């Protein structure tokens, strides 16, 4: 399995720990090849969109009656990228929020993502163009 893919174990962690940024930072190193991230460009668009898709389509809480995709916070996105094998260049577990916001801002400018990058929770959601970009990526791989 390559970096950028959430395993079933990772999704189980997400469901159990959603919204708890303190627990995200205590995660052990992932059992995937690690990718060191220094800039927003170091996270491929397809990876970021794919992780957001997976988080949007995973029940947020164990008691969630999950019917529709939901928004994704910047903290859950940072934790999920960590589980997918991405680490900050300075070696700490937590992915810097400025880096997540910068990548999200570029995707929002290209109309692949909707949300806010001011520093609030983000409320990121894929746009129709974002879904099409994921489908195009899967068709070519």
Q: Residue 131 sits in a domain of what CATH number? A: 1.10.10
> pLDDT value at position 38?
86
Say which residues have a Cβ less than 8 Å from residue 56's Cβ, sequence separation at least 6.
69, 70, 71, 72, 125, 126
Contact between 87 and 34 under an 8 Å Cβ cutoff? The reply is yes
Per the domain annotation, does 65 fall within a domain? yes
Which domain does 91 fall in, by range? 12-140
Which tens digits make up the pLDDT trace of 72-87? 888 888 888 887 888 8
- Residue 3 domain flag: no
Contact 51, 81 (CB under 8 A): yes
Query: Can you say how many angstroms the Cα of residue 23 is from the centroid of all Cα atoms in its chain?
Result: 16
Question: From CA 30, how far away is CA 10, in angstroms rounded?
Answer: 9
In a domain, 110, yes or no: yes
The model's pLDDT over 40-61, given as tens digits with 9 standing for 90+, comes to 999 999 989 988 988 887 766 5
Is 7 inside a domain boundary? no
Is residue 120, in this structure, part of any structural domain at all?
yes
Phi-psi region of 51 (alpha: psi -120 to 50; beta: other; left: phi over 0): alpha
Is residue 4 in a domain? no
pLDDT tens digits, one per residue of 80-137: 888 788 888 765 666 788 899 999 999 999 999 999 999 888 889 999 999 999 888 8
Is residue 42 assigned to a domain?
yes
Residue 33 has pLDDT above 80, yes or no: no
> Is residue 5 assigned to a domain?
no
Count: domains in the chain: 1
């Amino acid at each position: 399995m390559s970096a950028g893919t959430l395993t079933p174990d990772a999704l189980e962690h997400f469901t159990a720990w959603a919204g708890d940024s303190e627990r995200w930072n205590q995660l052990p190193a992932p059992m995937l090849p690690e990718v060191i991230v220094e800039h927003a460009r170091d996270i491929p668009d397809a990876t970021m969109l794919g992780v957001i898709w997976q988080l949007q389509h995973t029940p947020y809480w164990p008691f969630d009656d999950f019917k529709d995709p939901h928004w994704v916070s910047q903290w859950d996105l940072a934790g999920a990228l960590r589980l997918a094998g991405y680490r900050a260049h300075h070696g700490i577990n937590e992915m810097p929020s400025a880096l997540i916001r910068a990548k999200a801002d570029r995707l929002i400018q290209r109309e692949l993502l909707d949300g806010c990058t001011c520093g609030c929770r983000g409320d990121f959601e894929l746009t129709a163009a974002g879904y099409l970009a994921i489908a195009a990526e899967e068709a070519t791989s």
